[in-house]
C-alpha cells in the first residue's frame, strides 16, 4: 500500500484548509474529493466570517474569490400580515478589514484547492472514499477509494456533516434529526446595480438578511438572503425534528416557494433569474454533540466534527471549518516534529481548538440549541413585535388611545406574562 | 417554477447504479410517518400505484435529510460514486 504523511477525506473548506497547512510545511498530503471539483458538493447560505480566521492564514485572503463584504445586516421578524425589519448600517462593517463576506462554495473551494496545489499538496477529485481503513488494534491507517488503498500516518476526516464513513466505524455517532437542520436555497441572478439599489449598498458592499417567523410556519429555523456579486442566495433553514413534529407535514420545498411569494420578499427577488437550486444538511447539535476529535491515526475537522453554530442572528460554520483544518495541520506538523504521531501526540489538536475561538465559542453557546427549539420564538414573538408596532402606527376611524396605554397594553398582553417571563429566564443562559 | 423545473437547472451526472435503496417492506410494515415524502427538499419520494415507496435518486441533492429523518433505517444511502451525482456550479 502506497503511504503518505496525510490523507484528507473530503476536499471542502475544512479538508483543504488542513491540506494547505500541511503542504505549506512540506508534508506529503493527498486530498480525496468525490465531486468533479472542490465545492461541487458543497452548499453555504452564505457568509464566511473572516475575522476569526484572518490571522491563521494571513497571506491567503487577498486573492480569495469573495462575493461582497457584508456592510449591512437586516433582520426581519415576520408575523401574519405584518413584519418588522431592523436594518443595521455599520461603518465598521463597511470598512476594511471586513469582518465577513458572502461566498459561493463552488468558487471558494476550487480556489482553496488551487492554493493547496500551489503549495505542493495533491487534490484528487472525482473519487469517493469508500472506507476508512484500520489495523487490528483499531488504529486508522488510511483509506480505500474503489480498488485503491492509500496509507497515511494521519488521516484527516473532513467528510462533512453526514459522517457516513466515520460513524460506520464508530468514530462518531450517526446523525439524528434533533441535531440537524436542512438548508436549501435558490440562486437568483440580478444585475449588480439592482442589488446595490435594493439593499442600499455601495459598489462592492453586500447585505445579509435573515427572516424569522412566518417563513418556516413557526418551525425552528428561518429564511436567509445574501447578496453575491451578481446574484442573491435566497433560502430556508429548518430544523429536521421541527419538520417531523409538525402534524400537517408541510413539504419542505414548498416553504421556499411560499417565502418568495410573501409581499415583503417578492419585490426583493423580482426579475431575478433562477440558476441553481441546492440543499445541504447542517449540524446544529452544538458542543454537546461534538465527537472525540482525535484518536490513533486520525483527526476530525469541520462539519464532520459538528463544528458549527447557529446563534439565530449569526450563523457560522465555514470559519470553524477553516480554523479546525488549520489547527489539525499544525497538530500533525508539531506531533511529527516531536516524533509522536500517536493519539497522545495528536491530542494537541483538541487542546488548540479548546484554546481557540472554535471550542470557546461553541462552549459559550452551549445552551443555544435547546433554547431555540422553543417554537414560540418563531411564532409568538415575531407576530407580537409587529402587532404592537402596527397598533402604534394605526390611525383609525375611532379616537386614538394614548400612546402610553397602547404600548403598556401591548407589552402587558404579549410580553408581561408568565410564559414570557419563564422564557426570558431560560434565555439568561444563552 | 415547480420543483422538477428547479432541479432541471442543476447539473447532474447520473449513475446507472442507485445510491439510495429503500427497504419497501420496512416502509409498509413499520413506518406510519413517511418523513421522506415531505422532508426531501427535491421531493423525490413517492408512493407508487402498488403502494410501494419509491425514490427518483437521479435528482438527489445529496443533503441526507431523508437518511437522517428515517427512524426505521429503511434507507441504504451512500454518496454517489466519484464522477456522479449533483455538481453544483455555485453552491
Q: Is A237 helix (H, G, I), strand (E, B) or coil?
A: strand
CATH of the domain at B60: 3.30.70.20
B60 and A CB contact within 8 Å: no
Q: Is residue B91 part of a domain?
A: no
Q: Is residue B80 part of a domain?
A: yes
Distance CA B81, CA A230 (A): 33
pLDDT value, residue A311: 87
Helices of type H across A174-226: 192-198
Q: Is residue B36 part of a domain?
A: yes
pLDDT value, residue A404: 82
Nearest to B1 among A104, A177, A274 (CB): A274
ipTM (interface predicted TM): 0.98
B47 and A CB contact within 8 Å: no
Distance CA A161, CA B26 (A): 26
Q: A156 - beta bridge partners? A: A8, A299
From chain B, pick out residues whose CB is under 8 angstroms from the CB of A126. Answer: 82-83
pLDDT value, residue A369: 83
Cβ atoms of A77 and A382 within 8 Å: the answer is yes
Interchain pair B61, A39: CB under 8 A:
no
Tell the residue number behind the cell numbers 450517526, with chain if given: A174
Q: Any idea what DSSP says for residue A9?
A: E
Cα A428 to chain centroid distance, Å, stands at: 24
Task: Note the CATH number of domain A2-52+103-173+291-355.
Answer: 3.50.50.60
Residue A271, all three cell numbers = 426579475
pLDDT value, residue A146: 95
- Chain A nearest-CA residue for B86: A41
Sign of CA dihedral A22, A23, A27, A33: positive
Interchain pair B38, A243: CB under 8 A:
yes
Counting the structural domains of chain B, the total is: 1
Longest dimension (CA), chain B: 41
Interchain pair B88, A106: CB under 8 A:
yes
pLDDT value, residue B3: 97
Q: Any idea what DSSP says for residue A317?
A: S
Segments in chain B below pLDDT 70: none
Per-residue confidence in pLDDT tens, chain A, 430 aa: 889 999 999 999 999 999 999 999 999 999 999 999 999 999 999 999 999 999 999 999 999 999 999 999 999 999 888 999 999 999 999 999 999 999 999 999 999 999 999 999 999 999 999 999 999 999 999 999 999 999 999 999 999 999 999 999 999 999 999 999 999 999 999 999 999 999 999 999 999 999 999 899 889 999 999 999 999 999 999 999 999 998 889 999 999 999 999 998 999 999 999 999 999 999 999 999 999 999 999 999 999 999 999 988 889 999 999 999 999 999 999 999 999 999 999 999 999 999 999 999 999 999 888 887 788 888 888 888 888 888 888 888 888 888 888 888 888 888 778 888 777 777 777 7
Interchain pair B82, A249: CB under 8 A:
no
pLDDT value, residue A359: 97
Cα A408 to chain centroid distance, Å, stands at: 39
Q: Is residue B40 part of a domain?
A: yes
pLDDT value, residue B91: 94
Cβ atoms of A171 and A291 within 8 Å: the answer is yes
pLDDT value, residue A177: 96
Nearest to A106 among B42, B63, B90 (CB): B90
In terms of residues, how long is chain B? 91
Q: Is residue B32 part of a domain?
A: yes
Instruction: Identify the domain containing residue B35 by its residue range.
Output: 3-86
From chain A, pick out residues whose CB is under 8 angstroms from the CB of B90. Answer: 104-107, 187, 231, 275-276, 278
Q: What are the sequence ranges of the domains in chain A? A: 2-52+103-173+291-355, 371-427
From chain A, pick out residues whose CB is under 8 angstroms from the CB of B38. Answer: 243, 249-252
Q: Is A234 helix (H, G, I), strand (E, B) or coil?
A: strand
Nearest to A243 by CA among B35, B56, B27, B11: B35
pLDDT value, residue A334: 98
| Chain A nearest CA to B48, separation (Å) | 18
B61 and A CB contact within 8 Å: yes
Cβ atoms of A253 and B42 within 8 Å: the answer is yes
Interchain pair A109, B43: CB under 8 A:
no
| Chain A nearest CA to B4, separation (Å) | 11
Instruction: Report chain B's C-alpha Rg in angstroms.
Output: 13
Interchain pair A35, B87: CB under 8 A:
yes
B16 and A CB contact within 8 Å: no
Amino acid at each position: 500500500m502506497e503511504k503518505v504523511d496525510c490523507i484528507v477525506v473530503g476536499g471542502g473548506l475544512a479538508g483543504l484548509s488542513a491540506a494547505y497547512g500541511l503542504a505549506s510545511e512540506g508534508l506529503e498530503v493527498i486530498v480525496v474529493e468525490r465531486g468533479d471539483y472542490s465545492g461541487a458538493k458543497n452548499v453555504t447560505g452564505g457568509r464566511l466570517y473572516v475575522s476569526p480566521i484572518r490571522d491563521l492564514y494571513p497571506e491567503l485572503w487577498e486573492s480569495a474569490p469573495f462575493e461582497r463584504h457584508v456592510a449591512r445586516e437586516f433582520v426581519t421578524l415576520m408575523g401574519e400580515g405584518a413584519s418588522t425589519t431592523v436594518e443595521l448600517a455599520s461603518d465598521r462593517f463597511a470598512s476594511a478589514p471586513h469582518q465577513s463576506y458572502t461566498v459561493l462554495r463552488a468558487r471558494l473551494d476550487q480556489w482553496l484547492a488551487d492554493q493547496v496545489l500551489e503549495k505542493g499538496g495533491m487534490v484528487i477529485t472525482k473519487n469517493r472514499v469508500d472506507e476508512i481503513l484500520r489495523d487490528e488494534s483499531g488504529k486508522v491507517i488510511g483509506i480505500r477509494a474503489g480498488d485503491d488503498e492509500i496509507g497515511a500516518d494521519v488521516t484527516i476526516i473532513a467528510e462533512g456533516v453526514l459522517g457516513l464513513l466515520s460513524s460506520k466505524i464508530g468514530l462518531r455517532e450517526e446523525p439524528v434529526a434533533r441535531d440537524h437542520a436542512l438548508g436549501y436555497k435558490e440562486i437568483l441572478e440580478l444585475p449588480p446595480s439592482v442589488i446595490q439599489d435594493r439593499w442600499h449598498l455601495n459598489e462592492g458592499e453586500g447585505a445579509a438578511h435573515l427572516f424569522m417567523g412566518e417563513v418556516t410556519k413557526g418551525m425552528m429555523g428561518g429564511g436567509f438572503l445574501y447578496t453575491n456579486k451578481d446574484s442573491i442566495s435566497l433560502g430556508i433553514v429548518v430544523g429536521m425534528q421541527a419538520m417531523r413534529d409538525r402534524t400537517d407535514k408541510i413539504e419542505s420545498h414548498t416553504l421556499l416557494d411560499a417565502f418568495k411569494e410573501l409581499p415583503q420578499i417578492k419585490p426583493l427577488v423580482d426579475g431575478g433569474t433562477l440558476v441553481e437550486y441546492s440543499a445541504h444538511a447542517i449540524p446544529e447539535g452544538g458542543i454537546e454533540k461534538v465527537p472525540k476529535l482525535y484518536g490513533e491515526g486520525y483527526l476530525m475537522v469541520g462539519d464532520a466534527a459538528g463544528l458549527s453554530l447557529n446563534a439565530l442572528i449569526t450563523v457560522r460554520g465555514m470559519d470553524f471549518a477553516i480554523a479546525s483544518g488549520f489547527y489539525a495541520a499544525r497538530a500533525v506538523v508539531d506531533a511529527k516534529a516531536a516524533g509522536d504521531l500517536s493519539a497522545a501526540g495528536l491530542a494537541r489538536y483538541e487542546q488548540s481548538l479548546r484554546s481557540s475561538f472554535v471550542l470557546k465559542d461553541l462552549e459559550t453557546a452551549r445552551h443555544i440549541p435547546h433554547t431555540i427549539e422553543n417554537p414560540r420564538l418563531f411564532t409568538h414573538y415575531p407576530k407580537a413585535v409587529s402587532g404592537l408596532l402596527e397598533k402604534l402606527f394605526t390611525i383609525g376611524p375611532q379616537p386614538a388611545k394614548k400612546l402610553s396605554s397602547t404600548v403598556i397594553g401591548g407589552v402587558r398582553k404579549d410580553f408581561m406574562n408568565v410564559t414570557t417571563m419563564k422564557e426570558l429566564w431560560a434565555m439568561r443562559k444563552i | 417554477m415547480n420543483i422538477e423545473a428547479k432541479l432541471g437547472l442543476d447539473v447532474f451526472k447520473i449513475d446507472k447504479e442507485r445510491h439510495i435503496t429503500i427497504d419497501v417492506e420496512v416502509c409498509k410494515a413499520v413506518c406510519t410517518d413517511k418523513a421522506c415524502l415531505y422532508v426531501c427538499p427535491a421531493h423525490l419520494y413517492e408512493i407508487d400505484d402498488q403502494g410501494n415507496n419509491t425514490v427518483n435518486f437521479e435528482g438527489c441533492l445529496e443533503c441526507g435529510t431523508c437518511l437522517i429523518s428515517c427512524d426505521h433505517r429503511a434507507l441504504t444511502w451512500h454518496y454517489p460514486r466519484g464522477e456522479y451525482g449533483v455538481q453544483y456550479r455555485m453552491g
